Every structure is written in C-alpha cells, then in structure tokens.
Structure 1
C-alpha cells in the first residue's frame, strides 16, 4: 500500500462523500486506501457511507475525543507507507496524492509535506505558516504580519512559485502527508488537543526528530474550511485560544504571558476595526 488517506468526519456526510468522489476521480497510478473515522456524529448519515463506497474503511468511534484522536484511530488501521490526513471539506483539483507520494519518496529528509490549498473560487487559500507560534509571530500579527510580508513576500501562506518551499513553520492540517513510521515514532497526534494546533505541535516533534517540512505547489486542493463547525465561531475562538496556550506549555515556547496580552490587544483591535467598517 503506497498511501493511506485518513478523513475524520463529524456531521459532514455530504462533504465527506464529495471529498471521496474527488479522490477517486483525480487519483491515478497509485495504490491507496481511504479510511473514514466518524467522531460519534449526532447525524448518523455516515453509517450509509459503505453503500456508496463499499471499499472505504469506515470506523465508527463511540466517542468524540477530538480531531487528532480521530486521525490517530484511523492511523492504527492504516496499511500505507505514508499517511495523508485530509479534511472532509476538501476537494482534489489534480492528482495531488500521487504528487505527495512521489515527492516523499524522492526526499527522505522530508518529514511532513503539504500542498497548495485553494478557496472554493480557486483563489489562493491559507496553506501553511512560515513560522511556528511564538512571541515574534504574535508581535508580527499585531502589525498585520508586516515583518513576514517583507521577508517572504507573496509566498507567506501560499506557494506561488513552481518549486517546493522548505518551512520553519507548519503545513495546514487539512492536507498533511507524513511517513507512517515517522508518525508512530514521534508519538502520533497529541490527544490533549481537542481541535487546532495538533498539527503544529506534531510539527514541533518532527523538527526535533531532525526532519524537514516542505510544501509543494504541484498538489492542488480546494479547502472549503469550517464545514463541520457551522455557526460556532465563538466556540472556535475559544478552542483556538486554549489550544495555542496548550501548545506553548507542551513545547516550552517562550512568552505565554506575552502571547495572552498580545492576543487580547489583537482581538480588541479587530473588534474596533469591525465596528468602524460597519459605520
């Protein structure tokens, strides 16, 4: 088995169906399997998945322990040399999975590989971050990422070039490819993270294992974003804030207190801008 594609579902049955359809439509010349893990969705439509796709491995978790835990569960059933953690709200635009596989085969120093993510209108989406979270990035964010824009230009969160980019940051968890043996070696996703920053913390451990993180423009994927979250933007903000602080604690990243203060300032700034725009 060349690669195992793992999709975590939570109330995204139709999105998951469309994602799987795009995989079968676009993927060629590759031995792969698709594993869908349902994180105890209240909507039980997912139980009909094997009617449409009998060859897909469907795992019905009895509890929702979070995004990372769902992916970990899927990885334990995977037979592929590589794992591709793919969000249910994604659609392949080309033979992206084969591009991942071949790039990883040619570049054994690469621990994690991601591709270019597009919005539904095919405009560039946020595909990666050039830095891991820390005080410097928070200060930069306060000034609308001016330092990063000066350093990285238009390739700040999307690879506009034709060549791979080596990151000091992390790729989006929407399309994260990693060798299975490395994933197991570094300890899989940390299940203390319910949602958000689990891929960031995993990347931190991959760096400690002396592996690189690359993003390749040849893999092209639409990311619809937020498909399973509906109208819970406030809850999303809480998850992101709590997960970020947990990341700081787990990785001994300097500046937890500074980060809290800076994020409060940024939040206040954004609310003020929103009020001014409404006026």
Structure 2
C-alpha cells in the first residue's frame, strides 16, 4: 500500500458510459486537498465505456471484464487494486457538486470508532433519497419491489425500513448505507474481508455493513455534504429480468447466510 494516497475511489460500470463520464469529471473537478486514485471496473458494457476512459482519463486504473461479473465480485476486483488509506465505493450514476470526498475523509479522520460512512444522497431535483436504512425484514424487501402501490409505499413496514420517520439532517449511527456511496477504512477490509462474492447484485451493501458492525466498528450517516444520485433502479423497472432474478437470489442467499436473522 502506498502511504501517500488518502482515498481510493472504486467505481463499477455496466452500460452507463455517459453517466460515468459525468461522475468522473465531477470527482476531478471538486476533489481538493487530498490525494486520490480512481479504479474503474467495466463489466463488459459494450457501449464505449472502456474506450472513453482510455481516451479521456488515462490516469485511471481500468479493469475490463469480458463479462458482467456483477456488483460484489467487480467491486472486489477494484478494491484489490487500491492503495489508499480509505476506500470509497461509488456508483457510476453519481454526480459530485462539492468537495464531498474531503468532507467524508475529515469525518473519518476524527471519528475513530467509525468503520464506514456515507453522505446524503439526493436526486437531480435535490430531493432526499433514503440511502441509510434499518436492516430489513423479508416483508420490507418484498414491499421495496412494490413501492408503486400507494398503500405499500406509505406502510409502516417500508417507512420504518427506509427511516422516513427521521429528517436526515444530523450525524447518526445507522444499520446500513446503500452501496452507491460507502466510504470505509482499509482496516475494515483487513479485518472482515471483501464484499461477499456470492451476491451478484443486491444486498451486498447490507451484508458488508452488518459485518462492519459485528467487527466492532460503527456505521454512520453524514448529512453535511451531498451527492446527486441519478438512480437507475434497474430491478424495479423490470421485475422479471435476468438481473432482477439474480437480485432476488441474492436476497434469499443473505437470509440463509444469517439464518433469517439480519441484525447486529
């Protein structure tokens, strides 16, 4: 590991060339007062993603997969190439609007009990996204796929899971943060290992945060910087796509892994 890199940013991409390019440009534009590197894993996008990076961002470490390896395996590929003191997992559809990485870095430097932190996420209209959540019941997982039904969206099961009963304007210990933005210490990887390769797409973020908690660190939500998340919601657009089925498989795998008791 190189001692002069503060943060390693790991991004995986699948068929999001234009969003990824915007993400990368905003990282370079807004990130100041720390050293960083970027690792991009292209999951066989076949949309010009790799060519765009090679042409416009030659300093980025690029991993080109011959197939879509999924989220957890691809993130692990990227993490293995990192040299930073901290690792930041970002989705390709993120857009920085301020020096968010430095703010997360500063928070971690002074909060030694924190193993993982994420910032406030908003949509393109700057409306809050519920990115920190309570560990879900199986019913909550099902309801998340049915949010288009008004009664489901307003149900206590879903509102409690997504923490809609809280204003998201203070630093708070939370069960988990979605994988779109997870900033963690390298020590975490050294102690608990990588993301679970058995989860192709889905609850790898829940599993990772749960293991952070079980290892003795805390998971924090930090609202004093925000990033725009152009959320793609691919499993909710088509419930019966191949990706959606793999997502559901990941959910059931997670429950079996913890004997149907997902809690600290």
Scaled by the length of structure 2, the TM-score of the pair is: 0.85
- Cα contact 2:172–2:220 (8 A) shared by 1: yes
Distance 1:227 1:149 in 2: 18
- Cα contact 1:15–1:227 (8 A) shared by 2: no
Once superposed, what is the RMSD of the aligned Cα atoms?
Answer: 2.8
Larger displacement relative to structure 2 (147-156 or 61-70): 147-156
Q: Does 1:133 align with 2:136?
A: yes
Pick aligned residue for 1:13 from 12, 17, 42? 17
Deviation digits for residues 183-228 of structure 1, max 9, x if unmatched? Answer: 2321210011000100111111111101111010122111111177
* Structure with the higher fraction of residues in helix conformation: 1
Q: Does 1:171 align with 2:181?
A: no
Distance apart, 1:177 and its partner CA: 0.7
1:234-273 alignment runs, 5 A limit: 234-235=240-241, 236-254=243-261
Q: Give unpaired runs (5+ residues) of structure 1.
A: 256-279
Specify whether residues 154 and 143 from structure 1 end up closer, same or farther in structure 2 by C-alpha distance, changes over 3 A only: closer
Match of 1:67 in 2: 71
1:93-172 alignment runs, 5 A limit: 93-129=97-133, 131-134=134-137, 137=140, 144-146=154-156, 149=159, 154=164, 156=166, 159=168, 161=169, 163-167=170-174, 169-172=175-178
Distance apart, 1:93 and its partner CA: 1.9
Deviation digits for residues 31-75 of structure 1, max 9, x if unmatched? Answer: 111111111223344223121111111111233221111111111
Q: Does 1:199 align with 2:205?
A: yes
Larger displacement relative to structure 2 (221-230 or 202-211): 221-230
Secondary structure at the aligned position of 1:234 is classed as coil
Distance 1:42 1:143 in 2: 36
Pick aligned residue for 2:55 from 48, 51, 54? 51
- Cα contact 1:117–1:127 (8 A) shared by 2: yes
Compare CA radii of gyration and give the structure with the larger one.
Answer: 1
Specify whether residues 13 and 150 from structure 1 end up closer, same or farther in structure 2 by C-alpha distance, changes over 3 A only: closer
Distance apart, 1:253 and its partner CA: 2.4
Q: What is the count of residue pairs matched by the alignment?
A: 250
Pick aligned residue for 1:188 from 182, 190, 194? 194
- Cα contact 1:6–1:85 (8 A) shared by 2: yes
Distance 1:227 1:241 in 2: 14
Distance apart, 1:155 and its partner CA: 5.1
Distance 2:41 2:153 in 1: 40
Distance 2:171 2:123 in 1: 20
Distance apart, 1:26 and its partner CA: 1.3
Match of 1:225 in 2: 231
